[in-house]
Amino acid sequence: MNVWIQVADTAGAALLLIGAAICLLGVIGMLRLPDVLSRSHAATKPQTLGMILVLAGVALRLRGGMELATLGLIAFFQMLTGPVASHLVARSAYRTGQVDHGELLFDELDEQLTDGK
C-alpha cells in the first residue's frame, strides 16, 4: 500500500470524526439553547461546517471522479439551503412575535416593519 494512500485514508477518517463531533455539538446546541434565534444559529453554522468536513473526509476515502462530483454538489446545496432556511425560520419567528426584543442588541427589522403602519 502506498504511503500517500494511507495518509489520505487517515486524514479522511479524522475529518469524518471531527465533522461528526461538530454536528453533534450543533444538535446539543439546538436542544440546550433558550430561544429561536440562538437555536437557528446552532442549526446552521455547526451543521454546515460539520457536513462539509464529513464530505471532505468521504472524498479523501473514495477518490473517484463521479463520487467527488456528487459530493461537491451535496456540499454546494448544503451551503446554499441551510443558511437560507435558518434565516427564514428566524424571520418568521420575529414576525410572529416569538422573539424577545429586549435581548436583541440591534433591531433593524423593527424600523422596516413599523414604517408602513
Is pLDDT above 60 for 29?
Answer: yes
Contact by Cβ (8 Å): 45, 58:
no
Task: Return the pLDDT at 43.
Answer: 84
Task: State yes or no: pLDDT of 109 exceeds 80.
Answer: no
Give me the mean pLDDT over the 71-90 stretch.
Answer: 90
pLDDT at residue 115, rounded to an integer: 59
Over residues 62-86, mean pLDDT: 91
pLDDT of 113 > 80? The answer is no
Q: Is the confidence at residue 99, as pLDDT, over 70? A: yes
How crowded is residue 42: how many other Cβ atoms within 10 Å of its Cβ?
20
Q: What is the mean predicted confidence (pLDDT) over 78-104?
A: 85
Answer for the pair 12, 61: CB distance below 8 angstroms, yes or no. yes
Given this model, what pLDDT does residue 37 score?
84
Question: Would you put residue 33 in left (φ > 0), alpha (ψ -120 to 50) or beta?
Answer: beta
